[in-house]
């Protein structure tokens, strides 16, 4: 499927040399042939109207009409009376084979759909409800941001990000997460991935070569640390959070944590461990990297503030809208401790010269307007209902299963029988077109533990949850 350009047709990069002895019409015909043969213009793609093409190239409309007529006769273009001119579906590529780029796009799209269709129900954790993205509110915020953008805001600007967004984010984080934040220390980034790379890169250049990570936890931390020349040291997590004795024994000066809602166990770091962790960081002059990934979604407990609020000089708080809105927006932020701010901002400047301006303005507008809070409240109810559906389905169809980690977020931990083979269950479920995920896949140390499954329900309807559990109940 070729792109359907709106308006009078797209611009086409063509050059004419008026100093050459060759007629302009011959040059134009050759330029269009080469654009079609090379694939720059795809089969079915619209060309500019003859009037637009003539104006762009500074030539007569009649010359363009003659060129289009000649290329139609040669089979490169096609047009019907009163219709636009398009690249013919049988135009030849350099190999002599017809250019069918539109067909290849359809095939690739079909392949992607087939790949995702292999799993009728996918309990993948960490994925929000992608169908509930507030398109109307986002479109409104994008229009407002674009309408109000100043020329200065459309330039390179401050590598920390748009000041309006940083002010709004700081206020939001103080209000909702109990963070100690001001616009000066907020750095807007391209999602969590860029945020963690910026923080770890700055620490690495300060000579920190060992960083503790949670076990179980996000195993991507291992790969990120390795790429930066840092050794990731897995530290055990129990029902009260990270084991502080093991952390002290690891002899590290930085740790990556998910203290509000540990991934993937779903526990919250106990209050006495919070205090002890802060004391450890102060005594060792260590940096705590707080991944605040889905704290907005809570059900059976009061809000838990960000750990950063206890030690803003020792904690780098990283947050995003990947769970609250959609991962595809690639918008996040780092609230930096003072000693990390300058090197991190310089890294950000060299990395990408700053995040996209209009998306930043849209996010700031969405939050300031109250529409972001309204969306989060609505999704909290949606995820709460799906959580209840998962609990009910397992209670009815697999009553021996114990669920844990249900107080917040949109994934749960299912405790299997002591002799269960979680990997075998995952494979058998996949054969039934149901995606299940073993806890062992989230253990960076490779250590064994009691058999468990991590069940994400964020991107599943209630009917799909019931259907999926019904399909694998006997395996559980």
What pLDDT is attached to residue 75?
87
Residue 80 and residue 127 share a domain: no
Q: pLDDT digit string (tens) for 108-137?
A: 333 334 344 478 999 999 999 999 999 999
Single residue among 370, 404, 420 that ends a domain in this structure:
370
| Cβ-proximal residues to 219 (8 Å cutoff; 6+ apart), any chain | 441, 442, 443, 444
Q: pLDDT digit string (tens) for 46-77?
A: 888 888 888 888 899 999 999 998 888 888 99
Mean pLDDT of 239-251: 95
Domain holding 34, by residue range, is: 24-101
Q: pLDDT digit string (tens) for 6-58?
A: 665 567 778 888 888 889 999 999 999 988 888 888 888 888 888 888 888 88
Residue written as token pair 């010269």: 353
- The answer to whether residue 63 sits within a structural domain is yes
What pLDDT is attached to residue 304?
86
Residue 158 and residue 53 share a domain: no
Residue 138 and residue 125 share a domain: no
Q: What is the mean pLDDT of the chain?
A: 89
Residue 340 and residue 243 share a domain: yes
CA angle 72, 95, 28 (to 5 degrees): 35
Residue 157 and residue 268 share a domain: yes
| Cβ-proximal residues to 200 (8 Å cutoff; 6+ apart), any chain | 211, 224, 225, 228, 230, 254, 289
- The answer to whether residue 11 sits within a structural domain is no
Q: pLDDT digit string (tens) for 188-212?
A: 999 999 999 999 999 999 999 999 9
Residue 205 and residue 333 share a domain: yes
Residue 232 and residue 345 share a domain: yes
| Strands of the sheet with 411-415, listed across from one edge | 402-404, 411-415, 452-456
What is the CATH classification number for the domain harbouring 57? 1.10.10.10
What is the CATH classification number for the domain harbouring 467? 3.90.1150.10
Residue 183 and residue 166 share a domain: yes
From the number of C-beta atoms within 10 Å of its C-beta (0-12, 13-18, 19+), residue 461 rates as middle
Number of domains in the chain: 3
Mean pLDDT is lowest, of 5-14, 141-150, 380-389, for 5-14
Residue 287 and residue 152 share a domain: yes
What pLDDT is attached to residue 3?
61
Residue 272 and residue 256 share a domain: yes
């Amino acid at each position: 499927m070729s792109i359907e350009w709106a308006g009078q047709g797209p611009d086409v990069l063509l050059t004419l040399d008026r100093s050459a002895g060759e007629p302009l019409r011959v040059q134009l015909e050759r330029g269009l042939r080469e654009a079609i043969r090379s694939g720059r213009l795809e089969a079915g793609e619209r060309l500019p109207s003859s009037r637009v093409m003539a104006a762009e190239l500074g030539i007569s409309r009649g010359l363009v009409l003659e060129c289009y007529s000649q290329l139609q006769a040669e089979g490169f273009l096609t047009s019907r009376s009163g219709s636009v001119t398009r690249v013919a579906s049988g135009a030849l590529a350099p190999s002599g084979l017809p250019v069918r780029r539109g067909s290849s796009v359809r095939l690739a799209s079909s392949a992607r759909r087939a790949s995702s269709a292999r799993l009728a129900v996918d309990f993948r954790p960490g994925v929000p409800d992608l169908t509930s993205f507030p398109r109307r509110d986002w479109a409104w915020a994008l229009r407002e941001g674009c309408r109000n953008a100043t020329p200065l805001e459309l330039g390179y600007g401050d590598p920390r990000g748009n000041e309006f967004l940083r002010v709004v984010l700081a206020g939001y984080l103080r209000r909702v997460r109990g963070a100690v934040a001001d616009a000066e220390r907020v750095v807007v980034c391209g999602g969590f991935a860029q945020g963690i790379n910026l923080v770890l890169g700055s620490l690495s250049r300060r000579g920190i070569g060992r960083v503790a990570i949670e076990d179980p936890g996000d195993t991507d931390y291992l790969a990120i640390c390795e790429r930066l020349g840092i050794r990731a040291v897995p530290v055990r997590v129990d029902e009260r959070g990270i084991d502080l004795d093991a952390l002290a024994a690891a002899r590290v000066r930085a740790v990556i944590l998910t203290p509000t809602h540990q991934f993937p166990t779903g526990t919250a770091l106990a209050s006495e461990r919070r205090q002890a962790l802060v004391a450890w960081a102060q005594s060792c002059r260590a940096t705590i990297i707080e991944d605040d990934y889905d704290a907005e979604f809570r059900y059976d407990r009061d809000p838990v503030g960000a750990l950063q609020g206890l030690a803003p000089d020792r904690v780098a708080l990283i947050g995003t809208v990947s769970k609250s809105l959609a991962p595809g927006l690639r918008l996040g932020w780092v609230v930096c401790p003072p000693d990390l701010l300058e090197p991190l901002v310089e890294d950000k400047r060299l990395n990408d010269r700053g995040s996209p301006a209009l998306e930043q303005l849209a996010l700031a507008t969405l939050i300031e307007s109250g529409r972001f809070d309204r969306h989060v409240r609505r999704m909290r109810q949606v995820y709460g209902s799906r959580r209840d559906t998962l609990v009910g389905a397992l209670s009815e169809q697999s009553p021996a299963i114990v669920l844990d980690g249900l107080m917040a977020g949109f994934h749960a931990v299912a405790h299997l029988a002591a002799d269960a083979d979680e990997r075998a269950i995952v494979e058998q479920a996949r054969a039934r077109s149901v995606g299940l995920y073993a806890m062992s896949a989230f253990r960076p140390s490779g250590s064994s533990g009691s058999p468990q499954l991590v069940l994400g329900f964020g991107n599943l309807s209630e009917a799909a949850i019931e259907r999926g559990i019904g399909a694998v109940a006997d395996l559980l």
